[in-house]
Structures are given as C-alpha cells and as structure tokens.
C-alpha cells in the first residue's frame, strides 16, 4: 500500500528538499500540481483532501489557509511553518523534546515541525529543566547566527549575486516568531 502525499509549497527551499527525499520511494505517491495550479485554491483543496499526508512548506498565513481547506477527518498534516507550533491542537514534532513525545507524534493528525533555533535551544535546555537542573522561569538567552534558507528564494538569489552580503542582526527586540516556541 502506498501513501499519497501532497507537499503544498513544493517549489520553495524546504519543499524542494522534501520532494527530492521522497521521490522514487515505492511507499509514497507524490501528488503534484502543475505550475499554473499550485496557488489555485480549488486545486489545492482537492490535492489536500485527496492525500493521506500533507506537508505544508508555506508562509504562516498560507499554512493556516491550507489547513482550513481540509474537509475530511483523515488527512494528516505536517506543518513546516511556524503558524501552528504552539497551537493546542497540534503536536510539537520534536521527538526528543520530552518523554512520550515520539508516541504523540506517531499518533497525531496535526504535527508542527519545530524551527531551527528552537530545536537547538530546546535540545539543550528542555532536558535540564525537566530534570530539575535548571529553573523553568529563568530568562535564558540564545545568541545564534543562521544562513539564508528561512529567507526563501529571494534571499538565496541575493546571496548568490552579492558575494559580500554579510552578517545582519535581527530579532533583537524579543518579538521574533520563534520566541513563543522557545
């Protein structure tokens, strides 16, 4: 038996990588929309509802819209955006986060994929807090530097064209979208 998978946002950096990893595997059938239909709401709705699994590789607002298109009670969703990472009805997709998390992910209908910074931060801090080695209410700080993948295709193209594009700071006012997750 093969599982039908639709990757909504399959042309972005994350989507392209997932398509590459799943292509050619006999246990999966990839549902792919033609270029002229990939933003068509009705085509997306049909693909989403005709799939066993949907992987959302979209900006937050588009991910929220995609979930609203589900008209059945069986399609399972993995959301790579940050739109649902702290939502109550979603399971946080970091198996090592806490005891029982792996089983919760395996049984979940809606799984939010953790962000890059939160994964690194939580992998270090969460076990120490869970074991009482660190305080849960301490204002921990993460000092980190990232690449360009989160900026999407436009930033990747800019990096390719501007060899001297250097380090830029952002998120210093504590309103970065990963803060609630961490």
Find the helix or strand (DSSP H, E) in which 47 lies: helix 41-49
Catalytic residues: 116
Instruction: Note the Cα 91 to chain centre separation in Å.
Output: 12
Question: How many Cα atoms occupy the beta-carbon half-sphere of 180 within 13 Å?
Answer: 9
Q: How many angstroms separate the Cα of 148 from the Cα of each of 77, 95, 167?
A: 25, 25, 11
């Amino acid at each position: 038996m093969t599982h039908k998978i639709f990757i909504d946002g399959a042309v972005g950096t994350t989507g392209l990588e997932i398509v590459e990893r799943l292509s050619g595997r006999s246990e999966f059938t990839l549902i792919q929309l033609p270029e002229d239909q990939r933003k068509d709401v009705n085509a997306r709705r049909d693909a989403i509802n005709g799939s066993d699994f949907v992987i959302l590789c979209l900006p937050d607002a588009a991910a929220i819209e995609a979930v609203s298109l589900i008209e059945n009670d069986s399609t399972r969703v993995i959301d790579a955006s940050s739109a649902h990472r702290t939502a109550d009805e979603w399971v946080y997709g970091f198996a090592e986060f806490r005891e029982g998390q792996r089983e919760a992910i395996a049984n979940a209908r809606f799984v939010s994929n953790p962000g890059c910074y939160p994964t690194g931060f939580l992998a270090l801090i969460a076990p120490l807090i869970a074991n009482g080695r660190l305080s849960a209410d301490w204002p921990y700080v993460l000092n980190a530097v990232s690449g360009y993948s989160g900026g999407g295709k436009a930033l990747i193209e800019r990096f390719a064209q501007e060899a001297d594009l250097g380090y830029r700071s952002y998120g210093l006012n504590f309103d970065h979208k990963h803060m609630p997750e961490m």
